[in-house]
Amino acid sequence: MIKVENLHKHFGGFHAVDGASLEIAEGSITGLIGPNGAGKTTLFNVIAGVLPPTSGRVTMGGEDITGLPPHELFHKGLLRTFQIAHEFSSMSCRENLMMVPGGQTGETLWNTWFGRKRIADEERALRAKADEVLEFLTIAHLADHRAGQISGGQKKLLELGRTMMVDARIVFLDEVGAGVNRTLLNTIGDAIIRLNKERGYTFVVIEHDMDFIGRLCDPVICMAEGKVLAEGTLDEIKANEQVIEAYLGTGLKNKEALG
């Protein structure tokens, strides 16, 4: 579905992504792991059009999408979750979902004059959809709560919920588990698995929590120093000499992360 070929992203003389090549299979939940500073987030940002690559190519279903801006990728169904923006924190969770762009009719002047009924109908449908998403994510009780006042883990669920307001095909998740308690992390994991099975979403998941990766992801890709080191099941990755060395080389904290 996604093919990354010899991708480079340099910051000055520093090669954050240094010739990475990988493929993401449609329908997979692919894990992306690697020690701190491996270039995982930078790779995501380049694929998702947030950063232009220095060189290399990204294709989606054979179509060259290298360097396309996020909104164009969004329309192709490629989404990267972002933290709920500060200015949205005073809006309710339901409103945050209803704000996700999806080609509503309300935006043009013509429609404002001639389509009042249609706009009201769409708003009702949008609201129903947002409520359905909140239900799916087990946070229906938070519909009217301000997004700024829910817990960190609940925010992660809401961010995931934003991808459900449109017809996403592939979703990139960067450390959804960071700072989230175990119960909520399991809920997030369940939601990802259900979206994958029931709606056919493909996921690419960056995460340091190996239990989470092990439960969700096959295959797992390991990066270090801007390059792809290995790909396989988590057990294969954990047994890979180069992977172990890469984690060891960056200190005990990372070694423990590998388990």
Ligand X SMILES: Nc1ncnc2c1ncn2[C@@H]1O[C@H](COP(=O)(O)OP(=O)(O)OP(=O)(O)O)[C@@H](O)[C@H]1O
| Contact (CB, 8 A) for 32 and 75 | no
Smallest distance from the beta carbon of 103 to ligand X, in angstroms? 33
Choose from Mg ion, ligand X, none: what does 83 bind? Cβ within 5-8 Å by kind. none
Interface residue list for ligand X (CB under 6 A): 11, 14, 16, 34, 36-42
37 vs 56 by CB, closer to ligand X = 37
Minimum CB–partner distance for residue 22 and ligand X (Å): 14
Encoding tokens for residue 114?
């001639």
Least distance to Mg ion, CB of residue 182, Å: 21
Pick from 211, 208, 202, 212: nearest CA to 222: 208
Residue placing its CB nearer to Mg ion in the complex, 139 or 206: 206
Calculate the alpha carbon distances from 125 to 93, 104, 143, 225 in Å: 16, 11, 16, 47
What distance in Å separates the CA atoms of residue 152 and residue 178, rounded to the nearest whole number?
Answer: 9
Decide whether 15 or 129 has the Cβ nearer to ligand X. Answer: 15
Q: For binding to Mg ion (CB under 5 A), which residues are involved?
A: 41
Q: Which is nearer to ligand X, 40 or 94 (CB)?
A: 40
- The residue (of 37 and 115) whose beta carbon lies closer to ligand X is 37
Chosen from Mg ion, ligand X, none, partner binding at 169 (C-beta under 5 to 8 Å by type): none
238, 197, 236: which is closest to 216 by C-alpha? 197
User: Min. distance of Cβ 118 from ligand X in angstroms?
Assistant: 44
- Give the three-class secondary structure for 66: coil
Residue 219 Cβ vs ligand X, minimum distance, rounded to whole Å = 18
Q: Are 159 and 151 in contact (CB under 8 A)?
A: no
The C-alpha atoms of residue 129 and residue 71 are separated, in whole angstroms, by 21
